[in-house]
Amino acid sequence: MHKTAGTSSTAAAPPPSGPSAADKEKAEKHKQNGNNLMASKEYNRAIDAYTEAIAIDPNNPVYYSNRAAAWSSMGDHAVAADDAEMAIAVDPKFAKAYSRLGHAHFSLGDYETAKSAFERGLEVDPNNTNLKQGLSNAQAKLGSSSAAATRSAPAASPPPAGGAGGMDWSQMANLMGGGGGGGAGGGAGGMPDLASMLNNPQLMAMAQQMMSNGGMERLMQNPAIRNMASRAQSGGGMPSMADIMADPSLREMASNFMGGAGQGAPPGNN
């Protein structure tokens, strides 16, 4: 189709982008009203005023940030964090929103997330004093929490003095049937039989510790033990606990051995 002279096609005007100047002015008035209410500590009414501003101009990060401050002033830090995140979503370059976010998480005791928020803000505004101070406070809290956790952890205790598993020789004598004659289930010479030893959990624990510390190898290298083994093989029987307690060389050997078996490795550094 040919156009007639004097006529022209008119392109459709684009729809208006965002609120009009008049609407923005109204939103600013609501924001200013909210600021005045914050100054007088009327936090609920301040939240309402900022909400009115957001309804008119939802693309202004200041309104979300100010409402976050009002929520924090009321102690509702979780909602404050949500508003701070909204402000960041609207304008990732708005540094104050990161400060609001960090403060909210700090107040919730989530120091790691607070630290992250302050660090994100400093990437946007490296010289922001509030963000620097917030980061320092969060790091200090994380450091003190770590130190407190270390102090509350159970410290490694050195093994108690005495024989294996913390026993002295007289305690072991009682376990093995008493210092005199054989105890219940005892074998020849007052020593317990194998079944009795296997059924005694303390003796089994001592034996395991002796073996893990190389005690069994040292035991078999001891001349006194070899003499005892030779005596048993020749039909002389094992010495009773009374015999061991009465023989100075055997007693010293037993005390030294049992003391060594209980030492183990030195406790590691905390």
Last residue of a domain, one of 143, 176, 197: 143
Q: Tell me if 5 is assigned to some domain.
A: no
106 with 52, same domain: the answer is yes
Averaged pLDDT, 128-150: 87
* 169 lies in the same domain as 255: yes
pLDDT band for position 165 (cuts 50, 70, 90): very low
How much is the mean pLDDT over the chain?
75
The confidence score (pLDDT) of residue 18 equals 81
Percent of the chain with pLDDT over 70: 47
Examine the domain organization and report whether 28 and 123 are in the same domain. Answer: yes
> Do 93 and 177 reside in the same domain of the chain?
no
Average pLDDT of the segment spanning 166-188 = 47
Residue 111 lies in a domain: yes
- In-domain check, residue 16: no
Indicate if 177 and 137 belong to the same structural domain: no
Better pLDDT: 95 or 146: 95
For the residues 239-263, what does the mean pLDDT come to? 56
Would you give the end-to-end CA distance of the chain in angstroms? 91
Q: Tell me the CATH number at 84.
A: 1.25.40.10
Mean pLDDT value of segment 148-160: 56
Same domain, 121 and 208: no
pLDDT tens for each residue of 180-224: 444 444 444 444 554 565 566 666 666 666 666 555 566 666 666
User: What confidence tier does 103 reach under pLDDT thresholds 50, 70, 90?
Assistant: very high
Per-residue model confidence (pLDDT) at position 144 = 81
User: Model-level pTM?
Assistant: 0.52
pLDDT category of residue 250 using cuts at 50, 70 and 90 = low
pLDDT category at 119 given cuts 50, 70, 90 is: very high
Q: Does residue 65 sit in the same domain as residue 132?
A: yes
Residue 222 shares a structural domain with residue 117: no
Q: Answer yes or no: do 52 and 118 share one domain.
A: yes
Residue numbers of the domain that contains 70: 21-143
Whether residues 137 and 187 share a domain: the answer is no
Residue 115 carries which side chain, given as an amino acid letter? Answer: K
Full DSSP string of the chain: -PPPTT----PPPPPP-SS-HHHHHHHHHHHHHHHHHHHTT-HHHHHHHHHHHHHH-TT-HHHHHHHHHHHHHTT-HHHHHHHHHHHHHH-TT-HHHHHHHHHHHHHTT-HHHHHHHHHHHHHH-TT-HHHHHHHHHHHHHHHHHHHHHHHHSPPPPPPPSSSGGG--HHHHHHHTT-SSS--TTB-GGGPBPHHHHHT-HHHHHHHHHHHHTTHHHHHHH-HHHHHHHHHHHTT--PPPHHHHHH-HHHHHHHHHHHHHHTT-SPPPP-
Count of domains for the chain: 2
Specify whether 25 is located in the same domain as 89. Answer: yes
On whether residue 65 sits in a domain, the answer given is yes
Residue 158 lies in a domain: no
User: What does the pLDDT look like over 36-89, one tens digit per residue?
Assistant: 999 999 999 999 999 999 999 999 999 999 999 999 999 999 999 999 999 999
